[in-house]
C-alpha cells in the first residue's frame, strides 16, 4: 500500500492547525456550519452536474484507491515475465496456459491464454493495447472528476463570501458586530480553498498517477509477453524490459538480482556460455 496521500494530507492539515495554534485562532470560528454546507454541498453538486450520475458514483467509489492504491514494482513484473520466458523455452508456449491459472491478474491471464491459443502477435498487441486503455479509463475518469471539484470549490467559496458580505452590509448600523460578521464571511472562501488544495486536487492527482503507473505496468507486461511469444531468450528479455523502466525505478535492480541468486554476473556469464554451446 502506498500511503503518500495519507501522509501528505495529514501533513497539510497538521501545518494548518499548527498555524491556527500559533496565531491563537479559535477553531470554533472556522468550523461554521453554513459556509461548510455551501462549500461541500455546492461543490459536489456542481461536480455531479458536470458528468453523468454513474461516473460520479464510480468516482466516489474510487476514493479508497487514492489512499490504499497498490503500486507494483517494475522489477516484480520483469521477474514474472522472465520466469514465463524460461517456462516457454523449456516446455513450449502451450505450457503458458497452465501458468495463466496461477495468476490473479486478469490482464496477464488473458494475455497468456491468447498466447497459448496461438493468437497472432499483431492481433494480440492490438487486443492488449485496447485492454490497457479500457482498464485505465475508469480511474482517469475519477481523477478528472476530483480535479473538477478542485476547480469548483474556490469559486463556490467566493460565492459564499459574497452572500455573507451582503449580510454584513445590511448591518452597517451595528459597528460592534461588523468584525465578527466580516470574519465569518471569509470562512467560506477559506473552506473553498482548503478543500480544493487539501482534498480534491490531491485525490484527483493521486488517482491520475495510479492510472499512469498501472498503464505502465501493463505496457511493460504486454511487451514482455509478446517477446515471450516471439521466442526471446530469457536473460536478454530481462535486460530489454529493464531498459524500458525509468532509471530511478531500476537503480537497485542489479543488486536485487545478485542477492536473489547469490552469484551475480558470474552466473549470467556461465549461462551465456552454456546457451552458446
Comparing C-alpha atoms, which of 52, 6, 26, 61 is closest to residue 187? 26
Band (pLDDT 50/70/90 cuts) for residue 250 is low
Query: What separation in angstroms does the CA of 114 have from each of 79, 82, 93, 185?
Result: 21, 18, 10, 62
pTM beyond 0.85: the answer is no
Contacts of 15 (CB under 8 A, 6+ apart): none
Contact status, residue 113 vs residue 127, Cβ threshold 8 Å: no
Model confidence over 29-53: pLDDT tens digits?
889 898 999 999 999 999 999 999 9
**Which phi and psi angles does 231 have, rounded to 5°?**
90, 25
Model confidence over 60-103: pLDDT tens digits?
999 999 998 888 899 999 999 999 999 999 999 999 988 888 88
* Separation CA 116–CA 99 (nearest Å): 10
8-state DSSP, 245: S
* Separation CA 30–CA 84 (nearest Å): 58
Amino acid at each position: 500500500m502506498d500511503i503518500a496521500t495519507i501522509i501528505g494530507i495529514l501533513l497539510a492539515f497538521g501545518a494548518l492547525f499548527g498555524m491556527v495554534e500559533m496565531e491563537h485562532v479559535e477553531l470554533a470560528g472556522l468550523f461554521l456550519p453554513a459556509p461548510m454546507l455551501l462549500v461541500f454541498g455546492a461543490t459536489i453538486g456542481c461536480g455531479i452536474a458536470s458528468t453523468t450520475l454513474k461516473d460520479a458514483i464510480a468516482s466516489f467509489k474510487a476514493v479508497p484507491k487514492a489512499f490504499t492504491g497498490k503500486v507494483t514494482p517494475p522489477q516484480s513484473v520483469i521477474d514474472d515475465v522472465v520466469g514465463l520466458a524460461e517456462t516457454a523455452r523449456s516446455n513450449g508456449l502451450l505450457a503458458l496456459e497452465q501458468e495463466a491459472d496461477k495468476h490473479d491478474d486478469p490482464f496477464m491471464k488473458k494475455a497468456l491464454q491468447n498466447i497459448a491459443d496461438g493468437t497472432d502477435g499483431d492481433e494480440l498487441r492490438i487486443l492488449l493495447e485496447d485492454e490497457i486503455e479500457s482498464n485505465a479509463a475508469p480511474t482517469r475518469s475519477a481523477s478528472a472528476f476530483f480535479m473538477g471539484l478542485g476547480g469548483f470549490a474556490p469559486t463556490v467559496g467566493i460565492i459564499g463570501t459574497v452572500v455573507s458580505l451582503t449580510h454584513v452590509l445590511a448591518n452597517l448600523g451595528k459597528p460592534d458586530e461588523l468584525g465578527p460578521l466580516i470574519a465569518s464571511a471569509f470562512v467560506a472562501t477559506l473552506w473553498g480553498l482548503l478543500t480544493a488544495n487539501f482534498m480534491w486536487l490531491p485525490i484527483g492527482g493521486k488517482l491520475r498517477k495510479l492510472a499512469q503507473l498501472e498503464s505502465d505496468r501493463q505496457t511493460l507486461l504486454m511487451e514482455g509477453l509478446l517477446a515471450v511469444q516471439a521466442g526471446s531468450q530469457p536473460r536478454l528479455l530481462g535486460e530489454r524490459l529493464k531498459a524500458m523502466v525509468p532509471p530511478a525505478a531500476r537503480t537497485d535492480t542489479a543488486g536485487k538480482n545478485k542477492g536473489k541468486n547469490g552469484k551475480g554476473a558470474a552466473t549470467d556469464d556461465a549461462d551465456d556460455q552454456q546457451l552458446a554451446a
